[in-house]
Chains A and B, each alone.
Chain A
């Protein structure tokens, strides 16, 4: 009796977890399967997994008769530029705030804290106003430059640099290395875990970014995946529900972040313990 009860108490949470996991995974499986089925089948039998006709028509259509390849290219251009630039600028600023005493450092730090408190959607209209004033509206520079630095990234780098022993840098300085040399060839290589955190966060952030591109561009040549698929969702592809093509498009746009996620998932999920050296 007692052992049986113990078995149940031991297994109950596991069963609960499996049920919840199915709820979390099922939507994506339903998405994959239905993206490979004909339009009519998806509407009439949305859950008949794997039964019936299979077709890659949705994918064919996306690649041959839509702007999907263009959107993908734009997303890659923006995401890669933003990620590269952000790693550089954010770690430069983080290093200065962590290690270089200069007049006004406190003010800079306080400003960054204040900036982090401004909610993103409040900036939609004003960001457009500034981008427009600077003549960067509807251009790659208007899409990329505003995303090149973010306060949260500066903090992550600053906190990491503070955890590195100062002795290493002092040695370099005695050996005659300048500030930038010390930063670039000694401190930065030691900070790989934090740099990777920034890379992951900014890749994910700029790949998934929507509202900044809504307010900074209008021409079709500059449409990114998020904006393009959003237009697709609101039904610009003529008649019918078009579920397979929409599901296929949103599935494909998830692939790059999913790859980054599965490669770096340990690091992403242990971001708080990011100070561990390799």
Chain B
């Protein structure tokens, strides 16, 4: 490459150099992202058993059969997918708003101009984001163990903490139970979607999943805080001052000046949050393997488990594509809903 000289057809040489420069990146990305997607699409519509190459003579095209079995069936496969979607849905519904709110709150607190030690606080809040998910899960399994530190702290305020990672009870079920509502007298009990009864759909995240929800907020709020701080620093101090001279109080300044100007960042954080929270895998693989009572099963883990542990590759691939579709649809819907405000890079 070094031998290329600006003599002769300069443009030809430069064009060739351009292609040479992008080739390694394109080959790697193509081989390990594009080709895999195509291959998995085929596997999800085939009867491949995991033996021999997926593109060979013994492997047959079965159309949408694997998808139909998952989405329209009544068997275990459908119930597992329904359970996984339910678990992940409650995870998303809690983590996305919480991490956005916490990140925004931290950013506003840290960004105050009169504050001392801003650097220290930024570091403290961001540090959990750089550690590996495996290390954090191991720490979490200890913190939330039956006689662990969290329950110890709860006992100081006379609360008897649950055995977090062994507790499959759903939070909403617990709440309803406190008012005497149980599965027996619930009208939703009969309505079944994806093999899961209406009563089970509204269970809320299990106690075990709640520990993972707290973990997600702990590990992601720092990253998103940085995005918000960058956004806050873009806001013109004069605008704030003008609002102040107009007699706006702290809350009004936040609600009618700061928040509207941060809208593009909120959009980015919610988008990244939605994409990330539908991909819960590491925590489950390391921590609970889907238990207790399948209440921490997620589509990503279910897909992996079907393929690698149960050798049902077509089903695993089909679940992965269903998850892919969910993420794409949600991103598009959210884009339409929150408006087409793009964030400049």
**Chain A contacts to B: CB under 8 angstroms:** 10, 13-14, 16-17, 20-21, 24-25, 27-28, 30-31, 34, 43-44, 46-47, 89-90, 92-93, 95-97, 100-105, 108, 111-112, 115, 117-131, 133-134, 145-146, 148-151, 154-155, 159, 173, 176, 178-181, 183, 204, 207-208, 210-211, 214-215, 225-226, 229-230, 232-234, 241, 243, 246-247, 249-251, 253-254, 257-258, 261, 265, 268-269, 271-273
Let me know if A101 and B281 touch, CB within 8 A. no
Q: Which residue of A lies closest to B31 (CB)?
A: A130
Q: Which residues of A contact B327 (CB under 8 A)?
A: 119, 122
Give the contacting residue for B279; candidates A120, A154, A208; CB below 8 A: A120
Q: Which residues of A contact B128 (CB under 8 A)?
A: 24
Most buried by A among B6, B18, B134, B148: B134
Closest 4 CB pairs of A and B: A126-B36, A102-B18, A96-B21, A126-B40
Q: A96-B18, A122-B327, A230-B286 are in contact. List 10 more A-B contacts (CB 8 A).
A: A13-B109, A47-B152, A97-B22, A119-B323, A122-B40, A122-B320, A179-B17, A211-B281, A258-B130, A265-B123
State how many angstroms separate the Cβ of A203 from the closest Cβ of chain B.
Answer: 10
Give the contacting residue for A176; candidates B5, B17, B345; CB below 8 A: B5
State how many angstroms separate the Cβ of A224 from the closest Cβ of chain B.
Answer: 10
Q: Which residues of A contact B2 (CB under 8 A)?
A: 178, 180-181
Q: Which residues of B contact A128 (CB under 8 A)?
A: 307-308
Q: Which residues of A contact B212 (CB under 8 A)?
A: none
Let me know if A125 and B317 touch, CB within 8 A. yes
Let me know if B142 and A125 touch, CB within 8 A. no
**Chain B contacts to A: CB under 8 angstroms:** 1-6, 13-19, 21-22, 24-26, 28-37, 39-40, 43, 53-54, 106, 109-110, 112, 114-116, 120-128, 130-139, 141-143, 145, 147-149, 152-153, 218, 226, 230, 275, 278-279, 281-282, 285-287, 289, 300, 303-304, 307-308, 313, 316-317, 320-321, 323-324, 327-328, 331, 345
A47 with B320: in contact, given A103-B15, A119-B278, A211-B282 (CB under 8 Å)? no
A253 with B135: in contact, given A122-B321, A127-B36, A230-B286 (CB under 8 Å)? yes
State how many angstroms separate the Cβ of A8 from the closest Cβ of chain B.
Answer: 14
Show 9 A/B contacts (Cβ-Cβ < 8 Å), sorted by A.
Answer: A119-B278, A122-B37, A122-B40, A146-B32, A176-B5, A214-B304, A215-B308, A229-B134, A230-B137
State how many angstroms separate the Cβ of B87 from the closest Cβ of chain A.
Answer: 15
Bound Cα distance from A30 to B152, whole angstroms? 12
Q: Which residues of A contact B13 (CB under 8 A)?
A: 179
A249 with B285: in contact, given A24-B128, A124-B320 (CB under 8 Å)? no
Q: Which residues of A contact B226 (CB under 8 A)?
A: 269, 271-272
State how many angstroms separate the Cβ of B128 from the closest Cβ of chain A.
Answer: 7
A247 with B110: in contact, given A176-B5, A229-B135 (CB under 8 Å)? no
Let me know if B14 and A101 touch, CB within 8 A. yes
Q: Which residues of A contact B110 (CB under 8 A)?
A: 17
Bound Cα distance from A115 to B28, whole angstroms? 11
Most buried by B among A31, A93, A226: A93
Let me know if A151 and B29 touch, CB within 8 A. yes
Bound Cα distance from A251 to B131, whole angstroms? 9
Q: Which residue of B lies closest to A24 (CB)?
A: B124
Q: Which residues of A contact B14 (CB under 8 A)?
A: 100-102, 179
Most buried by B among A105, A126, A148: A126
Let me know if A253 and B22 touch, CB within 8 A. no
State how many angstroms separate the Cβ of B68 from the closest Cβ of chain A.
Answer: 19
Let me know if A16 and B109 touch, CB within 8 A. yes
Most buried by B among A10, A100, A271: A100
Q: Which residue of A lies closest to B153 (CB)?
A: A47
Bound Cα distance from A246 to B300, whole angstroms? 25
Bound Cα distance from A146 to B31, whole angstroms? 8
Let me know if A254 and B132 touch, CB within 8 A. yes
Most buried by A among B29, B43, B110, B307: B29
Let me know if A119 and B279 touch, CB within 8 A. yes
Q: Which residues of A contact B275 (CB under 8 A)?
A: 119
Q: Which residues of B contact A214 (CB under 8 A)?
A: 285, 304, 308
Let me know if B34 and A115 touch, CB within 8 A. yes
A100 with B316: in contact, given A89-B28, A92-B25, A246-B138 (CB under 8 Å)? no
Let me know if B135 and A251 touch, CB within 8 A. yes
Give the contacting residue for A233; candidates B30, B137, B218; CB below 8 A: B137
Q: Which residues of B contact A249 (CB under 8 A)?
A: 138
